[in-house]
Structure 1
Amino acid sequence: MNNSVHGMTKIVAILSYATLLGWLIAMMLHDKHKSSFTTFHLRQSLGLIITGALLALVPLIGWLMNLAVLFAWFYAIYYALQGRKEKVPFLGDCYQEYLDFIK
């Protein structure tokens, strides 16, 4: 385990990627275990959830583009497991900027 990321912080970050329910639970736990690491992953995860939901509304091509969201989700959870802050490709910067209400 990465020395800079403690156990509960890492669990909260990983849990945020476990569907919307997991994100909500992680958000509640984040209030008790705040860190820049969990804030980062909560933003990335919510961004992926919103992107996936919006793409699901677009017939055919949206479904295909959701494969990219699935790849990004695996990418993000891999780095959360590693205890690292890595933005998802293409939209990660936007997630950090526009979801800054998550503190």
Structure 2
Amino acid sequence: MKSLIDMSDLFIVLAGRYKIKPEKRDRFLELAIIGLEPTRQEAGNISYAFYEEVGVPNSFIYFEEWQSREALMAHLQQPYITPLLEEFGDLVEGSADVKIYDIKSYTEGL
């Protein structure tokens, strides 16, 4: 398990929702799973996960936390991620919903 970063520093959250073409589901999962563990080991990664949305077949949610925008950009160049990015246009149905948040403060709990 990674140690917690100093949350007083700026960090980045990427939240993405993607509807995958039903006939491309297996290929998407193959590519996504290849990058899962290596990404979690990257310098600058805080957390990295993707989930299938409950009740919405083939709709996947990515939730990623990065120590900096530079760490996120370096991630997108990794050899275990580039195949997914290269095929993404053929895998996704409609447009992707991706939001990147620059987090300046953080509080746990309500």
Which TM-score tier does this pair reach, normalised by the shorter chain?
0.3 to 0.5
Q: TM-score, normalised by structure 1?
A: 0.37
Q: TM-score, normalised by structure 2?
A: 0.35
Structure with greater strand percent: 2
Structure with greater helix percent: 1
Of structures 1 and 2, the larger Rg is shown by 2
